[in-house]
Chain A
Amino acid sequence: MRRLHIGRRTWLVTALVALTLAFIGITLASSRWLQTARVDLTADHLYTLTPGTQHIIDDLHRPLKLTLYFSEHATRDLPQLRSYEQRVREMLQEMVARSRGRVRLAVIDPVPYSDDEASAEGGGLTPINGGSNGERVFFGLVGNTVPGSEGEGEDRNLSIPFFDPARETFLEYDIAKLLYELDQPSKPHIGLISSLPLAGNPAIGEPPWAVVQQLEQLFDVRTLDADTLNRVGDDIQVLLLVHPKRLPDAAVYALDQYVLRGGHLVVFVDPDAELDTTPYVDSNGMTDDHNSDLPRLFAAWGVAFNASSVVLDRSRALQIELAGTNLNHPAMLGLGPQELNHNDVVTASLQRINVSTAGSFDLAPDAQTRLLPLIQSSAEAEKVPSQRVLEAVSDPTSLLQGYQPDNQHYVIAARLRGTFHSAFPQRAGTPGHLAESKPDSEVVLVADTDILSDRLWVEMQNFLGQPMLSAFANNGDFATNLADNLSGSSALLSIRGRSASQRPFTRVRALQAAADQKFLVKKQELERELAETRQRLDELQPVKGGRSGGASAQQKSEIEQFQQRRLAINKELRDVQHQLNAEIDALGLRLKVINIVLVPALVTLIGLLYGWRRVRQSRSRPG
């Protein structure tokens, strides 16, 4: 009997040991082999390959090799980077799994002074300083086409120099783009005609605008000179025309015929191009407005555009800092998903576009074309002469005086579709002249050029000593999407600009905006009062050259009053500010009380009631 007991105990202990081993074994095995089954609950499916990426991977023409370089040892003290590396590797593995052998992945730790380190640098990776023991940290991807394999096109070698954790939302896009570019036999050609310094100035070390840098990664961008332009080559798949000013007839005719031949034109015009550097009045006395228009072609296409009126939109005003105060600028607009066309592939996945002093398009009464909006204002917008906006430079809030919303969504960017007629009917006899385009031809119109400028969508950030461009709006994606879409490849569109936006407390922001507005009104009121006092003081100043001998008694008392009033006004302003912040703090306090006290108090109450009932029941029970 005793022997049987021992046997059972031994059996149980053995079972416990076996259980431990099995648990560890199965856990490790499951984390290693069960890799792809997952449900992504995030609203934007951040962790799932988008159809766009899947499409790119499924359509690869030739085998590709990816090499992920990650400095294991040097990142021992950089846990944030290590966990991001895991995310990057998982994303790459998912793509490799999807590619069914077309994409191969190698992960290499480039230890200092090794061949691997040399090949990482040779592949175009940028190491950052700041690893353990001062080692350099490599964390990038090199992609190659496999030489000698089937498929056409030149061999390519592209890289992502460094995976910046701040770009996590663009991770999939960056990698998909790399695959896409590697797979392209050659880059599509894009033409650029601009009177703004988009391409930078290499002579004085001025880099191209970020938009152009982004375009150059995907396309072969060629700058064309409007002054000598007679014909746009058929190899130009998309032509970007930015800020056209005083185009020679020959160039206008070249554009006209390019569109009629089926070329893809994107026009950026502006009632006030803030980055136009030409002086308003030059040394020859020539006057120049910073606006642009394409009157002859617009008229032929049935487009109405007023180059001297600007769209204001107080409900989409961007906040700017002016002389130390934050205020809303009703001519600088932050347009969100509601203002972007979600049925158009170009704008569907974008979250935010910033524009500044934009104009708007409409159709002329006799137009035979259709206007399909891409970007619009909200219904709270109104249009004002651009002169008024120029005059309000020092005080943009003055634009809100007498504000009358037109209850109309102004079209800031649109596709123009239909049959286009030539603006040069008199040249009908010239050989090769086309009088009209095929039906359903298309031109894209954008009523703002500032949309392309860096200041509205990117900022330079310093990541561990490396300058990195970090986008806060999708303006660049908009331009790239347009070029992509018009040049015929749309796979990258659905991935781009995916959920770059953070989710702020909109209610608190609204409170803040309302508070700022109230503060400003009050401030202006008080400033006016101060100005009046100062003016009265000036009137009391002795006339220059007149009787000297110090201020009169009246002046003195006025000065004193002035000083006191100024102190009082400053205090009043502080009080106003304080009171407005108090509203936001009060909301915070209410929420804290509700979250920390309310439910616990209810639970206590229920407990007490239940206890009281039990006591009463047990008392009323006989015996």
Chain B
Amino acid sequence: MHPVAAIMRRELRSYFVTPVAYVFLVIFLVLAGLLTFYAGDFYERGLADLQPFFVIHPWLYLILAPALSMRMWAEESKAGTLELLLTLPVTLVQAMLGKFLAAWLFLGLALLLTFPIWVTVNYLGDPDNGVIFAGYLGSWLMAGGFLAIGACLSTLTRSQVVAFILTALVCVLLILVGQPQVLDFFQGALPRKLVNGVAHLSMLRHFEAIARGVLDVRDLMYFLLTILAWLTAGVLVLDLKRNR
């Protein structure tokens, strides 16, 4: 088996042998349902689309993606298994990719388990399923972005708590920077080009662009680049640690 696949399988297994995975899934699903139906007024607004469902995803991931990624490397550092892993016949890149893909697939599974909301909206009306598909894809890509950030930041520290906080902090910045209120706040202080540039770095903006039903190369590129850049940065940090 390819080393990446092997590491991914090992990681995925490790999620499910402890109750962590189940607790995580239950929290994700219950929160998604509660927020969609109560905060988003899904039923009362009477429209056959999943807008109230997808609009909460950035905020859900803000808590859950750091929780999933914090243990990726921080735990290995603390338990002393990092050295062991580094002696195995796998490269750092392969190890990083394997762990990341495991977490990404796991969040994908969590997303798939929200299928009752898709069944519900199709039962209640005649939604645009193309848009819903785009919403799911955008959401999963955004989850990947957050997880990649978490993977990188968890290489920096031995403490899972620190890794969690750092990741959440960076993620909240990437969400907020796309909010019009924040952009408008900077509009006066910074040149327009810079503000536009900052807006292009926002995760939220690209997610919303995909969730309205259009797969634009620019948005896909953004997520791909984000994931690649943060994973590469993580590998570089690990390399730094190894050569310390």
Contact = CB atoms under 8 A, between A and B. Distances in A.
Interface string A501-538: 01111111100000000000000000000000000000
Contacts of B217: 30, 34, 37-38
Contacts of A509: 46
B199 to A, nearest CB: 9
B213 A19 contact: no
Contact of B213 (A46, A79, A502): A46
A197 interface: no
Interface residues of B, number: 65
A35 B214 CA distance: 13
A43 B43 CA distance: 22
Determine the main DSSP class of B at the interface with A: helix
Contacts of B21: 607
Interface residues of A, number: 60
Interface string B35-55: 011000001101111000000
B127 interface: yes
A611 interface: yes
Contact of A604 (B26, B116, B192, B233): B26
Interface in B185-212: 187-188, 192, 197, 200-201, 212
A3 interface: no
Given A38-B214, A83-B180, A610-B16, A507 B197 contact: no
A603 B123 contact: no
Contacts of B93: none
B33 A595 contact: yes
A506 B124 contact: yes
B229 interface: yes
Could you tell me the dominant secondary structure of chain A's interface residues? helix
Contacts of A19: 229, 232-233, 236
Interface in A19-55: 19-20, 22-24, 26-28, 30-31, 34-35, 37-44, 46-47
A324 B129 CA distance: 38
B239 interface: yes
Given A28-B197, A76-B184, A603-B113, A507 B125 contact: yes
Contact of B120 (A20, A591, A607): A591
A27 B200 contact: yes
B128 interface: yes
A596 B222 contact: no
Give the interface centre of B36, B133, B213, B222 by most chain A CB atoms within 10 Å.
B213
A503 B184 contact: no
Contact of B124 (A47, A507, A604, A614): A507
Interface stretch (A5-13, A57-65, A159-167, A570-578): A5-13
A506 B47 CA distance: 9
B25 A614 contact: no
A10 to B, nearest CB: 10
B215 A38 contact: yes
B221 interface: yes
Interface centre among A27, A506, A594 (most CB of B within 10 A): A27
B17 A72 contact: no
B243 interface: yes
A24 B200 CA distance: 9
A362 B43 CA distance: 44
A594 B225 contact: no
Given A23-B229, A43-B130, A595-B37, 15 more contacts: A27-B200, A30-B225, A38-B215, A41-B130, A41-B214, A41-B215, A42-B212, A76-B184, A79-B180, A79-B183, A502-B47, A503-B48, A504-B48, A505-B125, A595-B33
17 contacts: A9-B240, A9-B243, A12-B243, A20-B229, A24-B201, A41-B131, A47-B214, A82-B184, A504-B47, A506-B48, A509-B46, A594-B120, A595-B116, A596-B37, A603-B26, A607-B19, A607-B21
Going nearest first, the 8 A-B pairs with the smallest beta carbon separation are: A79-B180, A607-B22, A596-B33, A41-B130, A42-B213, A23-B229, A37-B217, A503-B48
